[in-house]
Amino acid sequence: MRDDQVGSPQQTSDPYQPPRTSLVESEARATAEELVAFMTGHQPGVPASKYYERQVDRWERGQRLRFHFPALLVGTSWCFWRKLYLVGFMMYLLEFVLGLVLFLIGGVFLQQGDSVLPSVISLGALLLARVPLAFTANRLYIWRAERAARRVAERGLRGDEADLALRRLGGTSALGLAVAILINLALRLLAG
């Protein structure tokens, strides 16, 4: 081995690590068009696209994103509709834990003969779970869109192919919404 090869990147790099060029490319930020393509799915020109165009514009200018009322009103169903499945399952878990705690607290009030207070506490717990979601829903969705855009770029897709891949990865899922509705119905039936 020659002295000028000692310490060269080829010899000191870990063979199990990806090449540096792929790391640099994967850290590139997604364009506004890519984010909106992901967020609107296969529905260009719908009112939702204008809403998400404004949110992406606010995101790029470093402004605070708006409160998302659909996420407040329907919570986990919104997550599944927008293909945020992990967030949706985490919301179910949070609502379950809060419901369990409130069931235990409500049992104390029911023993004392108060039947209204447990309902008020239950509504409060639901709001405690959904208000943070509503404040972070747009940020979560943009974060997921950026991740999807990086994955598409890492696969080497460009132009119309990349746009089509982003629209397929993003948008909405009627199947996800149906699953959320079925889970909600099952939980309501179990609750009695």
Residue 59 pLDDT > 70, yes or no? Answer: yes
pLDDT at 170: 87
Determine the Cα–Cα distance for residues 162 and 14; give it in Å rounded to an integer.
31
pLDDT at 176: 94
Q: Which residue has the higher pLDDT, 85 or 162?
A: 85
Q: Is residue 82 classed as helix, strand or coil in its secondary structure?
A: coil
| Helix ranges, 31-173 (H) | 32-40, 47-60, 69-74, 76-81, 85-111, 117-154, 159-169
Name the residue ranges covered by the structural domains of the chain.
Answer: 69-192
pLDDT tens for 131-168 read 999 999 999 999 999 998 888 888 888 888 888 888 88
Range in 8-17, 27-36, 106-115, 123-132 with the lowest mean pLDDT: 8-17
pLDDT band at 7 (very low <50, low <70, confident <90, very high): very low
